Structure 1
Amino acid sequence: MPRDHEPIARLVGAIKRYGPLTALDGVDLQLQRGELLALLGPNGAGKTTAIGLLLGLIRADAGAVELFGQDPQRIEARRRIGLMLQNAELPPTLRVGELLRLTASYYPMPRTLAETAELAGIGDLLKRPYAKLSGGQQRRVQFALALCGRPELLFLDEPTVGMDIEARQKLWAAIRQLLAEGCSVLLTTHYLEEAEALADRVCVMTHGRMIHEGTVEELRARVALKRIRCLSALSIDTLRGWPEISEVRRESDRLHITAADAETVVRRLLVADLQLRELEVQRAGLAEAFTELTRDADEASDTQREAA
């Protein structure tokens, strides 16, 4: 789907301090219409602060913050967003259908109750009190509340925490449908496979700074590691002695090897075990790329502190 060139949400050189702590240190971030941007980073990286600025919940100490080209605290901008926070306090005695009708009434052109329930997969929960639902069911209801106003921009903070695999897959499908309709999504998640499955772009934060922005493939390309899987009788101790191998483990009869120089390792494997079979070589996934990127940033930060 074609996208406008003008971002619908952005931070420009955003700085936010809490006393001596700098939560955001000159962060640039922008989100285009119809894209899903995954904002990743360890705890304390500044993700929550960045989202708080875009939602108008807090003010930046310096830099610019825009939501649909406006101040995020303007009601005209806020009516165009949906929000699913990691922690939500909702009236426990209201039934799910009542919660949806109440929330939809705050928006000028909300979805119908039936449309919202179908998209979020909660048609069987409408008559049940919110407090009587399981944690995973409550998360599905919170997702429904976030999308019922037909938002142009959806903020999803750890949306699938507490969900089982089936519910998670259904929520992913709903997110893809919203993206196809032109909705933009800003996603924070600790499930890196979630970002890998959904994101158009990934931004990685640590220590209040943006350390990477690009597609999942571009993030992977920054990491030299590759994963090798095979069936082999070679022992773990033998392979740990090979300098090209970073990590090795065995699951059942299958070896799982991580190596920077995969070609050399594969050649050695074929020579050392003539019975080797079911050989697979894959590039590093998002998890490995994220770990290496944040580790490098942590080491650089430690070096700067020691030099200061």
Structure 2
Amino acid sequence: MTHLGADVAAFVDGQLSPARESAARRHLDECERCRELVVQQEQLKRRMASGARAGVPPHLAAALAAVAADPGEPDPRGRQALQRSLGVVVALMGSSAAVLLLAYVLAPPLPTTADPVSPDFDAYAAEFLQEAASQRAPDIVAASAPVGGDDTLSTAELDELDADGWPCHMTLAGDLERVEGRLVGDAEVSLRYSGEHVQLQLIEQIGSLEPSAMTGFQLRTVAGSDVWVRDGIPTVAAWEADGIVYTVVTDASAERIAQVVGQLPSTPTRSTVERIEDGLHRMTSWVSAA
């Protein structure tokens, strides 16, 4: 059988059918990953049951409240309701399914050491639209466009950047050809790609995505990776990987955007089992510190 996944809860509670329990035990004999998950759940269940009898540990209650609470000034009545809800959650910890659910919800984001950045998505979109207009009326747009201070990069310089870990592919999504590359400041590269009736701008900058900058975006799984997407004309997609933030601004279809994401470094979406494991580690650290 595959990894136990959600069956871990039923196994710990003794709720599997005899046949499935036998299969689960055979799997656990061979799978260290699932054995660790079962042990973590059993330990956490015992700790939470003990905590329910003694009262909610202040450290755990504060941590859970910080996750669930609204960032604004809390209403006293809302705080009392939250505390009552926490008591219910702790009482429900007698069910391993509740442990799994809470672990999934509380799974922490993947760690990063890069400084947070807030890409200027609106400026990127405006630049894209201006460039698209220049394709239709080059003389008018060229006369009105301001002179920028960005440095245009030669093919040799783009190849050197590519070798240094800044992807500057000659083509993307099959037939989108690189037509220009510019260096913006010291830590941002802007690349422009063009194909038949399709334009694409790719911006790469050192850092990690600042969560507050993602207002108006939706987190989606694109090409198996976590990508923030803002639909519209143009579509804007952003993600981070290995200390670089990638922003795509394009009028291409969702399928072609997925091709682009697949060609560039990205962060694979965590599976349900991986999220549960991360959440259990987080919860165990809270209970141990109480």
What interval of TM-score do these two structures reach, taking the shorter chain for normalisation? Answer: under 0.3
TM-score normalised to structure 1 length: 0.23
Q: Which has the larger radius of gyration?
A: 2
Name the structure with the higher strand share.
Answer: 1
Q: TM-score, normalised by structure 2?
A: 0.24
Relative contact order, higher structure (CA 8 A, sep 6+): 2
